[in-house]
Amino acid sequence: RLFQTCMSLFLLLGTKEDILKNISNQTVGTKKHPQSALEQAVESMGAHLSAYTSREHTAYYMKTLAKDLPKAVELLAEVVQSSSLSEADIELQRSVVLRELEEVQGSLQDVCLDVLHATAFQGTPLGHSVIGPSANARTLTRNDLVEYINSHYKAPRMVLATAGGVNHDELVGLAKQHFSGVSFEYEGDAVPVLSPCRFTGSEIRMRDDAMPLAHIAIAVEGAGVASPDIVLNFHFLNICLARHCSLLSQDQETVLHKMRCTHLNIWVELFWNSAKQSTCNTPKRKEKLKSHHLRIPISVSAVGPIEQVPDYNRMRSAMYWLRF
């Protein structure tokens, strides 16, 4: 049995739901433990407690020794259900969020990827940045946060997951003990509707020749996390494309949802060459490439000295190859 465990509580809350969560997801004090006491309780266990928000979910997670699992579940439940949200905590986290906004604006990589999401998912909640606009951080009040938590922190939207030295029956008992008070009901029995999100082939360009480097991101609509094709997509991007990027670009990042290359004069050829890799020549892979990578629109974002970036229609036509 492992001596360490990692426990996470995932909530179906992100930019798809509401961008007011930017302060409410910070680890602050609770009604039982002020922030200093909470930090001391976590440190006395040699544990680590934190939280983060993505575009589709919010997560509170804790790493601790397996023997301290009961105390860890108790603290995690307390943080999620009984945050004090004092005015002092809110003002402190407000300044943290505003600093993060400044840092994001100073990172052209983050700007490029936020712009990519804005154009690819335009008109939908997924087009929002994770951290949200500065106007929200400056104007949020305690009542806004309390209303948001009461409206969205519901049991049907929560998943408690653990890994490591954990006994399943013990965890189920602890979850029943500490999370039984989480409500299943929505006010007026009105369940918030999950806004549908669509992918739109489009582009946004932000040209600034004074910048030293160009940042370019290109996206295609692929299989969702629940799709059986997710493994195939991951294999294609990491095997077929990563080899080229490692040789041709000064700085590259290739993962399931984004790819970035910085050599402007050869990136179209990169996609052409990737389309004919021998590792993708099985019938099943060919069929999936047609439906998920080649014959669909693309979304493009470009920031910096991007004069040499080809026209969108030229890039779109490069996503398929006509042979005679």
Is residue 274 over pLDDT 60? Answer: no
Q: How many domains does the chain have?
A: 2
**Measured torsion, CA atoms of residues 90, 96, 100, 101, in degrees rounded to the nearest 10:** 50
Q: Which amino acid is at 105?
A: Q
258 and 117 share a domain?
no
162 and 240 share a domain?
no
Residue carrying structure tokens 């195939």: 232
Strands (DSSP E) contained in 221-306 are 253-254, 259-260, 298-304
Cut 0.85: pTM above it: no
Kindly state whether residue 110 falls inside one of the protein's structural domains: yes
Model confidence band, residue 151 (pLDDT cutoffs 50, 70, 90): confident
12 and 151 share a domain?
yes
Kindly state whether residue 196 falls inside one of the protein's structural domains: no
- Of residues 292, 287, 296, the one with CA closest to residue 256: 292
pLDDT for 141 equals 86
Last residue of a domain, one of 189, 224, 252: 189
185 and 209 share a domain?
no
63 and 166 share a domain?
yes
25 and 70 share a domain?
yes
145 and 206 share a domain?
no
Residue carrying structure tokens 């009461």: 150
Kindly state whether residue 324 falls inside one of the protein's structural domains: no
Kindly state whether residue 197 falls inside one of the protein's structural domains: no
127 and 268 share a domain?
no
Q: Give the model confidence (pLDDT) of 105-149 as tens digits.
A: 888 989 999 999 999 999 888 898 888 888 888 888 888 888 888
Kindly state whether residue 195 falls inside one of the protein's structural domains: no
Own/partner pairs for 257-264, CB < 8 Å, 24+ apart?
257/219, 257/222, 258/113, 258/116, 258/217, 258/219, 259/217, 259/218, 260/109, 260/112, 260/215, 260/216, 260/217, 261/216, 262/213, 262/214, 262/215, 262/216, 264/214, 264/216, 264/306, 264/308, 264/309
Kindly state whether residue 55 falls inside one of the protein's structural domains: yes
Q: Give the model confidence (pLDDT) of 12-48 as tens digits.
A: 877 655 445 555 555 567 888 888 888 899 999 999 9
Report how far residue 8's alpha carbon sits from residue 77's, in angstroms, rounded to the nearest whole number: 11
162 and 18 share a domain?
yes
216 and 282 share a domain?
yes
Kindly state whether residue 323 falls inside one of the protein's structural domains: no
Expressed as residue numbers, the domain containing 99 is 4-189
23 and 68 share a domain?
yes
For residues 157-188, one letter each, b for 16 or more C-beta atoms within 10 angstroms of the residue's C-beta and e for the rest, the string is bbebebebebeeeebeebbeebbeebeeeeee
Q: Give the model confidence (pLDDT) of 197-238 as tens digits.
A: 889 999 999 999 999 999 999 888 877 777 777 777 777 666
176 and 244 share a domain?
no
The upper half-sphere exposure of residue 177, i.e. CA atoms within 13 Å in the direction of its Cβ, equals 13
Kindly state whether residue 16 falls inside one of the protein's structural domains: yes
CATH number of the domain that residue 244 is part of = 3.30.830.10
